[in-house]
Structures are given as C-alpha cells and as structure tokens.
Amino acid sequence: MTAEARKQAIVKAALPLFAQRGFAETTTKDLARAAGVSEPLLYKHFPSKEALYLEIQEFGCRASEPAVRKLNEMEPSTLSLVRLVFYLMRALIVGKPSAIPEWDTRHRLMLNSLLHDGTFARLMYKNRFDWFCSRIEASIDVAIQSGDAIPLPIEKGNAARFAQHVGAWLALVHLPRNPAITYNGSREKLLDQAIWFVLRGMGLTDKAIATHYQPTALTSFFAQ
C-alpha cells in the first residue's frame, strides 16, 4: 500500500471512532488498532492525534459529489431553490445520496464537535454549507421577484440556516436505534412533510410548491 493510500485508510478507520467517542476519549492506541497498524506507523503518517483529527476535518469538508457540482452550476430560480432544499433535506433526513464519510458518521462527528470545541462543526458549516446559504438567498430573491414567493420578515440567510436545522435535528433524533421522537409515517413521508414545511417557511406559495416540488422528477434530476 502506498503512503497516501495508507493515510486514507487510517483516516477512514478513525472516522467512526471519533464519531462515537469524540476527540478526547479516542486514544492513539484505539486508532492504530482500528486501522490495523502499529502506533509507530500511525505516528509516521500523523505526528499527533490532533494532526489526524485535522485531516479528518478536511476529509469531511471536501465537496466533490456530482450532485453538489450540479447545484453549484444552476442559475438562481424558484426551481433551483426547490432543488437546493430537496437535496439538503434528503441528504440530512434519509442520507441520500450516499456520502463518504457516511451520513450517520457525519451527524455523530457534528454532534460530538458541538459538545466540545465546535471546530469540526465550524469547518463543515463554512466549507460545506455557506455556499448553500448564498444560493438559497439568491433563489429566494428571484422567487419573490417572479411572484412565486412572498417577502417575509426573516433574513434570507437565516431561512437557509433554519432549513438545515430542521433537517439536522430530524437526523439526530433518529441516531439511536430506538428514535428519541416518534413521528407519524415513514422516513420518506417525514422528508416530504419537512420539505413542505421549509418551502412554506421560505415564503413559497402553494402554487409554486405544487409546480416545482415534484419528488420523482427531483430524484431523477439528481440520479442523472
């Protein structure tokens, strides 16, 4: 195995440990065992536990999914707004499309980060979510101009953040094997209702939602 391949293997093995235990409770001995290497070899690639954790933070913040690139290329519009919300909420609530690290691991890393110094969470929001906010803001402006949405006394950037909070909390309460909150219906039904809730909260009219929020067409768009 090349040095770079070994580094990536160590990072992937370390992700679940940091996600489950947090930074402070994870030892280099645990990390080496999970990666199937000796501690000296671990230190050869990462001089400290902090260095490995920093690499994990960077690894989790790389936005390379084809769907993200498609969203990044869209012009602001009502349809773009619906696509952005659909992608965000579906990723958070049902974990689609699949990602590396897995969504469950990402949620646990975020939660552990928020319970400690927040470094990983800040990086994720800055590197993975800020661009979402700016595109949602621009699309809300266009939707208002076209009559597809009504102006609201809510900062448009906050509307985007509120949407993320709804999806993230729904994901977090489902992390335990026995969910902390019981919702009516399947996870897919919950996703549908959450998207309606968020789009209405952003000011979209019923007509605009009915026109642009077509789950089958949106799923097909991201699958292409």
Count of domains forming the chain? 2
H helix runs in 95-147, sequence order: 103-115, 119-124, 130-145
Q: Which residue range is the domain that position 165 belongs to?
A: 66-223
| Cα–Cα distance, 40 to 33 (Å, whole number) | 12
Q: Which two tokens stand for residue 183?
A: 């919702």
Residue type, 83: R
Query: How many residues would you count in the chain?
Result: 224
Same domain, 113 and 149: yes
Same domain, 33 and 117: no
Residue type, 118: G
pTM, to two decimals: 0.83
Same domain, 95 and 47: no
Q: Which residue has the tokens 């552990």?
A: 112
Among the three residues 40, 60, 80, which one is the final residue of a domain in this structure? 60
Picking from 166, 125, 145, 127, the residue whose alpha carbon sits closest to that of residue 81 is 145
Same domain, 74 and 129: yes
Same domain, 128 and 194: yes
pLDDT tens, per residue, the chain with 224 residues: 788 888 888 988 888 888 788 777 888 999 999 999 999 999 999 998 888 877 876 775 555 567 778 888 899 999 999 999 999 999 999 998 876 678 888 888 888 888 888 877 887 888 788 889 999 999 999 999 999 999 999 999 999 999 999 999 999 999 999 999 999 889 999 999 999 999 999 999 999 999 999 999 999 998 87
